[in-house]
Amino acid sequence: MRKMLNTLYVTTQGAYLNKEGETVVVNVERETRLRLPIHTLSSIVCFGQVSCSPFLLGHCAEHDVSISFMTGYGKFMARVTGPAAGNVLLRREQYRRADDLAASARLARLFVLGKVANCRTVMSRALRDHGPKIDAEGIERTVGKFGTLAQRLLREEGLDDIRGLEGRAANDYFGLFDHLIVAQKEDFVFAGRNRRPPLDRVNCLLSFLYSLLYHDVRSALESVGLDPAVGFLHRDRPGRMSLALDLMEEFRPVLADRLALSLVNLGQVKKNGFRISESGAVIMDDESRKTLLVEYQKRKQVEIEHPFLKEKIPIGMLPFAQAQLLSRHLRGDLDEYPPFIWR
């Protein structure tokens, strides 16, 4: 599997980046502050008044390192990428399948199946870890139901039916989610999923984690040459990365939900790390956000054996591995897309 690489974030105003041999050099006021070998980077993100030499841009393009320019406030402005990623045959096949409802359904049910199976694992693990402290009976019943549901998805052929099953599973799962919180229960109450804006601390954690995941999945899809905007379960909507949303489904429980639970259950985030605004929207403070980012990065470095590839890979490489398997399926190498199933 490809190595997991770093992202360089440059926030120092007036910084100038240039290339020296195979390294990226960060200069501030004509003084070298940092040198990094290019092959350790996957991307560079520049905030505000940060500039790069054209030679560095070319070198990064050649090495598949993307460079993004954001305003000082983090609003996206532009991106420089090389010609490498992309294969028109693959994208055409992606579009053909997306245009064909039956073919879309065959893929959609596998994304949902991955999600349902992984939600089931989140619940079984909670049962194993905190059995006596939680509503074991209710959770056990749902675990059983999800097992049956996963089997049923393998036979389901209509997109609407698949979406229906997905909706019901999400309701059941989030209906129980509050029971999986075993510490700081008064401060972290979960009464259903809400997003725009998040109205409680748990939803605030989930939303932020989902947005990190969305970005990771989107770039994984781009790096194998798939179009993140054209999905199967999620249909086209301008401005939405539908395929990224599709592929995210199987990772939500593993990479986001479980991390949110452990942040709360292990006391890594606290009640006063959140601010409730006048509109009722809950906002994380910088300290909590930092804790969350550090834990997210740590979790990405944990190695697991990929159940289909039978290879040890860091959790952070899962989106890339799955994007790659999806492209291999679309190119005809695999009879179906194998979702990542966590046990």
Partner 1 sequence: MYDEADYIMLSALQHYLYCPRQCALIHLEQVWVENRYTAEGRVLHERSDSREVGRQRGIRAIRTLPLASARLGLSGQADVVEFHDDGSVFPVEYKRGRPKKNRCDEVQLCAQALCLEEMLALSIPSGALYYGEKRRRQPVIFNAELRKLTESTIARVHALLQGGTTPPADYCRKCDQCSLFSACLPKSCTTGRSVRKYLAAMLRGTDEKDAEHPLCNNAGSVPQ
Query: Site for partner 1 (CB under 8 A): which residue of 15, 44, 117, 205?
Result: 117
The yes or no reply on residue 131 touching partner 1 (CB under 8 A) is no
Instruction: Give the separation between CA 107 and CA 110, rounded to whole angstroms.
Output: 5
For residues 331 and 21, is the Cβ–Cβ distance under 8 A? no
Instruction: Give the separation between CA 63 and CA 337, rounded to whole angstroms.
Output: 29
Query: Site for partner 1 (CB under 8 A): which residue of 13, 40, 87, 297?
Result: 87
Query: Site for partner 1 (CB under 8 A): which residue of 65, 139, 165, 325?
Result: 325
Query: Site for partner 1 (CB under 8 A): which residue of 8, 17, 112, 150?
Result: 150
Residue 298, C-beta contacts closer than 8 angstroms, at least 6 positions apart: none
Tell which positions 65-84 bind partner 1, by CB under 8 A. Answer: 84
Nearest to 190 by CA among 279, 272, 264, 116: 264
For partner 1, the closer of residues 296 and 337 by Cβ is: 337
DSSP secondary structure string, 9-53?
A: EE-STT-EEEEETTEEEEEETTEEEEEEEGGGEEEEEEESS-EE-
Which stretch, 25-33, 149-157, 178-186, 293-301, contacts partner 1 (CB under 8 A)? 149-157
Query: Site for partner 1 (CB under 8 A): which residue of 29, 155, 278, 305?
Result: 155
What are the CA-CA distances from residue 277 to residues 182, 283, 284 (Å)? 26, 7, 11
φ, ψ of residue 246 in degrees (nearest 5): -60, -55
For partner 1, the closer of residues 155 and 196 by Cβ is: 155
Instruction: Give the separation between CA 26 and CA 16, rounded to whole angstroms.
Output: 6
Query: Site for partner 1 (CB under 8 A): which residue of 72, 276, 309, 322?
Result: 309
In the chain the first and final C-alpha atoms are separated, in Å, by: 21
For partner 1, the closer of residues 156 and 257 by Cβ is: 156
The yes or no reply on residue 128 touching partner 1 (CB under 8 A) is no
Instruction: Give the separation between CA 35 and CA 25, rounded to whole angstroms.
Output: 5
Query: Site for partner 1 (CB under 8 A): which residue of 42, 43, 142, 324?
Result: 324
Query: Site for partner 1 (CB under 8 A): which residue of 26, 90, 126, 217?
Result: 90
The yes or no reply on residue 61 touching partner 1 (CB under 8 A) is no
Residue 123 burial (10 A CB sphere; 0-12, 13-18, 19+)? buried
Kindly compute the dihedral angle of the four CA atoms of residues 45, 51, 53, 56, in this order, to the nearest 10 degrees.
-10
For partner 1, the closer of residues 91 and 163 by Cβ is: 91
The yes or no reply on residue 21 touching partner 1 (CB under 8 A) is no
Which stretch, 128-136, 146-154, 167-175, 276-284, contacts partner 1 (CB under 8 A)? 146-154
The yes or no reply on residue 191 touching partner 1 (CB under 8 A) is no
The yes or no reply on residue 225 touching partner 1 (CB under 8 A) is yes
Report the length, in residues, of the chain.
Answer: 343
Query: Interface with partner 1 by CB under 8 A: which residues?
Result: 1-2, 84, 86-87, 89-90, 110, 113, 117, 147-148, 150-152, 154-155, 225, 307-310, 324-325, 328-329, 331-339, 341, 343
